[in-house]
Structure 1
């Protein structure tokens, strides 16, 4: 009988190379998709001036994109099983790029709304399919760090692409600027075509060998955790993700209006969003690395309390001082998701990674899609400062929801 010690040297090197290649492809997809998604926060300010929109209407535009993105999460996961995750991920990237390319040709807000829905549909495939790819190519100990790296590059995209749009707007119209980003998306799709393997490890038709270093994350759910507790913990995780996503969406949607009320110019607002995204990129790595050392519960609790405190602090600081709070806000606001994504992999049933990620993203992104229009209605009625106070205080509800996650915390 062949021992594990004898068999590992033959498999470790090629699987490690495959894992790095998959992580690179997934990170590239995340960079483009998240950057193109958060580019909309700058476009909302442009469209508000062009079409004369209220905060509630801006919230509606955000809801249309995020709602389309959320609704298609589970179908994307299921379609990926039928038609191939690689093929669907490439097709979604091309669909998002096509929608962006056509934005500038819209003659009215209705046409733009329709294209926003199509763009959200294209963007929906990236999170569940790329996360699933990663979780199948890394063992359970490596998955959390791999997902943190993947999330880091998503925030790199949030820095680069909105910054590129902000710079392009100084020289060319917004429609031409967005078309340049769409061309970038086509190049990303070509890159995915060459980088992604045609089959996913752990699925039918794929190599059955484990990921480098041990057991694949797809088969790593601990049998010692009772099914009822696992389900309860996963439900709690989805609610935490929903509150976290709603806070992020509400904050980023309405922060430009808060800064404008303090006297910020459009260039200042672009700089502020870029600063937050830089902090977010750091936060993805920092929180993902701290969680295994400090514990999931402590890290999430600390980041959410810090987020709430910084949002409230922004409301009462002058414009110059507000800039000093943006990097720590980005770290706290975006860093939590690295912990949550890694925890999805740990709470998934064996062989159900794609479905678990699809369900988590549907619920959390769905809440993130709904709340901007709710917050927008509140902001129109009571003002932006009280509305952002409500956004911040919503995070306090995360704290008791952390208790069920003790089943997987170390």
Structure 2
């Protein structure tokens, strides 16, 4: 038993925040994460409409998407540094207000210019949310933050599933500008509703959390590389999935079903793998999920349509679930500066999500689609030896006496 676990509850860093306050903060962080991830994937539903409205090519649509993603990914670290002294309540509320304001600007009838300005503004808002929301959960729960961070990650997937589906159903009934305005107003209402749940200050001891496992330099760097490769695997496979279905004589309905099955499994994986990580440990869980990912990707490449559809929920569990364990390990390997570590980590995975499909696509263009799919499977399998490198940096103990300090944000 570690020394910290023998301390009175009020002196244990992971319990220095009242339970009700920690729970409310977690709920607020999860709802905010769901909103922002819903905004992110909800943009996909508008792309066909914008293509017709503004006469854009596919490259032009990719450029529009890139405005949002480049802003959101590129400003993670600057946003964390700029708002380091701002309370969690102000930072997370501002993130939702700014992102929703971006959607309102996009809905204005001022042509392509307002759409581009709104996308950049929305990206600025979402760049704030990821590091500050993660930091709120990590600070509130201290050494026990791994499972709450998994729930926070899982909430993002719920937003990715719910809001884009609602937009897709509503687009045939409403013009895209009023619909986008309604989505933005809903975001502002949610921001106002969750603001009282977010604490102004969080009592935490990041140094104790880091001391739990950070016994040397380089652990976070290995985790960062694993996160980048894990995201590359996921985005690469998503690129090829529609073509795998079409190659087995599946129509658009089968493609939609395939994505739904994969995403449902992914949402379950975000929740279940955080629990699995506590049973197997981070290294054991990552090895198990990445090995299963590689084998299942290869299986879907060769399986007929119906067996492939049956395998997709299982693939979704391991394809998406690893990220919960990785995110939950960031504060343990952050060496005391978890806020900056989260910002760096999110920058890497968001950047990987943008670049990896291009690289896999180029590989497939110069070989075959099957080679591209197998490359994504090999990427997952390459994570296994990297996970073993994490073992020396994980599994340490908290110090018996840990000085507390109150941090803002």
Same-fold call, TM > 0.5?
yes
1:336-355 paired onto structure 2 within 5 Å:
336-350=322-336, 352-355=337-340
Distance 2:321 2:231 in 1: 11
Confirm or deny: 8 A CA contact 1:41 1:253 kept in the other structure: no
Confirm or deny: 8 A CA contact 2:22 2:140 kept in the other structure: yes
CA separation of 1:354 and 1:250: change in aligned 2, threshold 3 A: same
Confirm or deny: 8 A CA contact 1:262 1:318 kept in the other structure: yes
- 1:130 matched to which residue of 2? 133
Deviation at 1:190, TM superposition (A): 0.9
2:232 corresponds to which of 229, 240, 246? 246
Distance 2:177 2:372 in 1: 31
Q: Secondary structure at the match of 2:234?
A: helix
- 1:280 matched to which residue of 2? 266
Q: Secondary structure at the match of 2:195?
A: helix
1:297 aligns with 2:300: no
Q: Secondary structure at the match of 1:138?
A: helix
Distance 2:300 2:52 in 1: 25
Q: Secondary structure at the match of 2:210?
A: coil
Count matched residues.
Answer: 388
1:219 aligns with 2:208: yes
1:372 aligns with 2:368: no
Q: What CA RMSD, in Å, does the superposition of the two structures yield over aligned residues?
A: 3.3
- 1:158 matched to which residue of 2? 160
Confirm or deny: 8 A CA contact 2:233 2:380 kept in the other structure: yes
1:4-403 paired onto structure 2 within 5 Å:
4-5=7-8, 15-44=18-47, 51=55, 53-54=57-58, 60-103=63-106, 112-140=115-143, 142-202=144-204, 216=205, 219-222=208-211, 225-226=214-215, 229=216, 231-256=217-242, 258-259=244-245, 268-350=254-336, 352-378=337-363, 384-403=369-388
Deviation at 1:362, TM superposition (A): 1.6
Distance 1:37 1:122 in 2: 11
Confirm or deny: 8 A CA contact 1:137 1:201 kept in the other structure: yes
Runs of at least 5 residues in structure 1 that lack an aligned partner in the other structure? 203-215
Runs of at least 5 residues in structure 2 that lack an aligned partner in the other structure? 1-5, 396-409
CA separation of 1:264 and 1:328: change in aligned 2, threshold 3 A: same
1:99-135 deviation digits (Å, cap 9, x = unpaired): 3344455787776555433332221112110110111
Deviation at 1:251, TM superposition (A): 3.1
Q: Secondary structure at the match of 1:221?
A: helix
Distance 1:322 1:295 in 2: 30
Distance 1:305 1:105 in 2: 48
TM-score with structure 2 setting the length: 0.82
Confirm or deny: 8 A CA contact 2:17 2:140 kept in the other structure: no
Confirm or deny: 8 A CA contact 2:214 2:394 kept in the other structure: no
Q: Secondary structure at the match of 1:201?
A: strand
Q: Secondary structure at the match of 1:139?
A: helix
Deviation at 1:309, TM superposition (A): 3.0
TM-score with structure 1 setting the length: 0.82
Distance 2:347 2:24 in 1: 27
CA separation of 1:120 and 1:273: change in aligned 2, threshold 3 A: farther
Distance 1:392 1:62 in 2: 26
